[in-house]
Each structure stands twice: as C-alpha cells, then as structure tokens.
C-alpha cells in the first residue's frame, strides 16, 4: 500500500523542478523515495539512490557537488537521483542550485529531509523556482485503515459518504478503529504493529530517541526544558500559547521558549494556528493556539492511553482530532481560530473556503449550544457555522468530517 502523497510525487516526477519531501522522522519519507525508485526501474528510467547517512557519500558530495555526476548510471538519458536525508549536506541550498543550474538536463533530484528546520535554514531564496516542497504528515484515517489491510472498512466509509441515507452494519467496527486512531495516531510503524504494549513502546521510542535527534541537530541547549515544554503543550492542546507564561513556568527566557517552539514547528511536531479577525480592536488576539500534529505522540508525552470514554481530557483529545481532520482535508495554512477580547471563541475558522467555514468542536452533542456562538454568527453571516461532535456516534460522522 502506498501513501496518498505518492500520486502527487509521481505527477511531479517529469517536472523540471527538483522534488523535496519533508516531514517528521518516521513518517515514511524514505519509503516513498524507494516506491518512486521502483517505479523508475519498472519504466526503464535511469535512477540512483543515495542515502546521505552514509558518511563516505556525504563527504564526497560535501567536498564537491559535481562528484554526484560520477554516480549517474547513464550519460545519455536524464537520471532521477534520490537523495535521502538531504539536510545532512553542509550546504544543501548551494548543492541543489549548482546541480539545477548546470545539469538539470541530465539530473532530476528527488530528495527527502527529516526536518523542515534544516531545509528552511539552508534552502535560501536562490532556490526559488528550482524546487517544490511536499510535506508528509503522519497518516490520516484512510491511510491508517489501508496500512492495516482494512480496505473493506475504507470502502464502507466511501459508501456512507456517497449515500446520504445509508446505514452501516460496520459502524461499531469503524468506531473501534477511529478510537484506536485517536489513541495511537498515524506513525506508519505504529499502525502496522498489532500489539498494544508494543505500540506504546514504539511511540515512546519516537518520543525519546527520534525527537532527541531533532533536539541535538537543531542546537537545543537545554533538553530538559525542551521536553517539559513539549509535555505542557501536549496537555494544553488547543489553548493559547502564552510565551511569557511558559517562560515563567519553565524559568527560561522568552527567547529560549520562542526558539524551542520554532524548532517544534519546523520538525513537524507542532502547529501554531493564528487568529482570524476583521475588527482589530475587538477581536485581535496576538497569541496563537497550539496543536500537536500526531495524537499518538501527544498521548505518549502525557503517558495516557486510556480509552476515550475513561479520559478527563476527551474534549481536548477530540479537538485535537478535529484539527487533524481539518489539516488533512484543507491543509495547515488556512486554519485559523476566532477569539474576542472578552474571551468568546470559535475553535476553527477557515476563511478561504467557499463558503468559509467556522467549526466548534464538542465531544458530546449535548454540549453544543448555539446561543453561545450567536455573536460570531451575526458578525459573519456568510460563514457556514457547524458543530463537530463525536457522540452520539453515527454515519454522519464520516459524511461531515472524513
């Protein structure tokens, strides 16, 4: 089974621009590159795969980018060069610029980078028009089912979505899968692991070992403060991120907290969404809201994998899940929230959709009281306002959100 991003990468393969795949560690970037390599091999397209964790190869390309040409299997036909972990190059921006400007008729580079932090800092403006960046998040619910070989359940979701009055005999099975997805998230290796204790251990390994590599490579000075900040953000998902408050709690400088937040964002562990406003005086809230990008990682940071209905934080867990659903459906860039100076709030606002959307997440439908949100509805009558609820569970869940 191939991730959905594979199709977009395949479509971009013939393009002149270089292809860059970024995302958190362990999300499947190397697998995608190998899938594309297999496609090239099957189509008779010259290709070569270079893993830059190989120190010998890394030293050669750092010494002189033109050393890459010696690895091309053909001088007659254009070769697709797969570069895994491109952030390890000492100057990936200069490397790609040189190869593109001088040899784009001979070489098409498809590269992966474990962290956008390094790519953003090294891929300077000189690469404008020479590259396209694709972001790979952890799996959405479709990929979650497909990776487990449960395509029949995804087919049932499609049937429900396409038939407004359809009832499903598999609704309870779908709920079990959805709740497992809310608990353990979308890292591919975690999804395909069948043992619950082993899933927890794998998430712990991602939390401790792989994120530690991000910490070390991004120059974080105080690992303990970084982890504590991460845990606080996990426990406060969907809340305003107040740098001053976090600084006081962690006894660190504001600049340090701000830097660590940027590292988390660039490493695809955290997203800070910005406020939406029309009336600056009444609505402007400068602070963003924070959401982790994988629910399994969030639960591992909190060391809480209790079933949904036994959790005190099920409201926060549900809001986190709604955020990921919106991110998967609409992308990260267009998601905002609305909040007035006196604290009235809408969880998610998508002003760029047609029609624009406003969504309030409530785990239980009984908590969805329209009167509380009348100010927004009256102020923005052009918005399609709706509640996102999980309980009571029904087929409508898939029609509205998936």
pLDDT at 114 over 60: yes
pLDDT at 123 over 90: no
pLDDT at 264 over 70: yes
pLDDT at 217 over 90: no
What is the rounded distance in angstroms from the CA atom of residue 191 to the CA atom of residue 199? Answer: 8
Q: How confident is the model at residue 167 (pLDDT cuts 50, 70, 90)?
A: very high
The string of pLDDT tens digits covering residues 300-341 is 999 999 999 999 999 999 999 999 999 999 999 899 999 887
pLDDT at 128 over 90: no
Mean pLDDT of 200-213: 90
Q: How distant is the alpha carbon of residue 181 from its chain centre?
A: 15
Percent of residues in the chain assigned helix, strand, coil, to nearest 5: 50, 15, 30
The per-residue pLDDT for 314 is: 94
Which of 111, 88, 113, 87 has its CA nearest to residue 100?
A: 111
Mean pLDDT of 3-19: 94
Report the share of the chain in percent with pLDDT over 70. 95
Estimate the crossing angle of helix 254-266 against helix 223-235, to 10 degrees: 70
> Please, what is the average pLDDT of the chain?
91
Mean pLDDT of 249-262: 94
What is the rounded distance in angstroms from the CA atom of residue 344 to the CA atom of residue 338? Answer: 8
Domains within the chain, CATH numbers bracketed: 5-135 (3.40.50.300), 141-401 (no CATH)
The per-residue pLDDT for 402 is: 77
The per-residue pLDDT for 117 is: 54
pLDDT at 115 over 70: no
∠ CA 293-297-301, nearest 5°, is 125
The per-residue pLDDT for 118 is: 59
Q: How confident is the model at residue 281 (pLDDT cuts 50, 70, 90)?
A: low
The residues with which 336 forms a beta bridge, in sequence order, are: 274, 349
Place of tokens 């409530």: 362
The per-residue pLDDT for 151 is: 95
Mean pLDDT of 36-45: 96
Q: How confident is the model at residue 206 (pLDDT cuts 50, 70, 90)?
A: very high
| Lowest-confidence pick of 68-82, 111-125, 198-212 | 111-125
Mean pLDDT of 77-89: 93
How long, in residues, is the chain?
402
What is the rounded distance in angstroms from the CA atom of residue 159 to the CA atom of residue 156? Answer: 5
Mean pLDDT of 270-288: 78
Mean pLDDT of 364-384: 93
Residue 268: which region, alpha, beta or left (left: phi > 0; alpha: psi -120 to 50)? left
Q: How confident is the model at residue 277 (pLDDT cuts 50, 70, 90)?
A: confident
pLDDT at 136 over 90: yes
CB count, 10 Å around CB of 402?
Answer: 18
Determine contact, residues 29/114, Cβ cutoff 8 Å: yes
Handedness of CA 159, 329, 28, 199 (dihedral sign): negative
């Amino acid at each position: 089974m191939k991730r959905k991003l594979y199709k977009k990468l395949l479509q971009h393969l013939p393009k002149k621009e270089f292809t860059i795949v970024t995302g958190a560690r362990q999300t499947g970037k190397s697998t995608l590159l190998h899938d594309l390599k297999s496609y090239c091999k099957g189509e008779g397209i010259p290709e070569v795969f270079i893993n830059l964790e190989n120190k010998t190869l890394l030293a050669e390309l750092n010494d002189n980018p033109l050393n890459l040409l010696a690895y091309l299997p053909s001088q007659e036909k254009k070769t697709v060069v797969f570069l895994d972990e491109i952030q390890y190059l000492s100057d990936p921006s200069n490397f790609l610029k040189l190869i593109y400007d001088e040899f784009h008729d001979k070489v098409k580079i498809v590269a992966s980078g474990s962290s956008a932090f390094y790519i953003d800092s090294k891929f300077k403006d000189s690469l404008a028009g020479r590259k396209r960046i694709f972001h790979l998040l952890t799996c959405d619910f479709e990929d979650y089912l497909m990776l487990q070989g449960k395509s029949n359940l995804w087919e049932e979701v499609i049937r429900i979505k396409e038939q407004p009055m359809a009832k499903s005999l598999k609704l309870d099975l779908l709920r079990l899968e959805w709740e497992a997805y809310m608990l353990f998230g979308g890292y591919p290796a975690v999804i395909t692991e069948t043992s619950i204790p082993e899933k927890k251990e794998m998430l712990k390994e991602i939390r401790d070992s792989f994120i530690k590599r991000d910490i070390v490579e991004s120059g974080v000075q105080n690992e303990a403060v970084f982890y504590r900040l991460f845990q606080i953000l996990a426990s406060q998902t969907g809340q305003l991120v107040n740098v001053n408050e976090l600084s006081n709690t962690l006894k660190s400088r504001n600049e340090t907290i701000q830097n660590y937040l940027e590292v988390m964002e660039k490493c695809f562990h955290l997203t800070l969404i910005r406020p939406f406003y029309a009336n600056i005086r009444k609505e402007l809230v400068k602070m963003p809201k924070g959401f982790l990008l994988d629910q399994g990682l969030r639960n591992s940071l909190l060391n809480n994998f209790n079933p949904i209905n036994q959790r005190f934080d099920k409201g926060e867990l549900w809001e986190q899940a709604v955020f990921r659903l919106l991110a998967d459906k609409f992308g990260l860039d267009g998601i905002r929230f609305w909040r007035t100076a006196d604290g009235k709030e809408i969880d998610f606002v998508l002003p760029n959709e047609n029609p624009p959307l406003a969504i309030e997440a409530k785990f239980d439908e009984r908590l969805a009281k329209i009167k509380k949100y009348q100010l927004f509805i009256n102020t923005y009558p052009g918005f399609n306002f709706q509640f996102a609820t999980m309980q009571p569970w029904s087929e409508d869940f898939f029609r509205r959100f998936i």
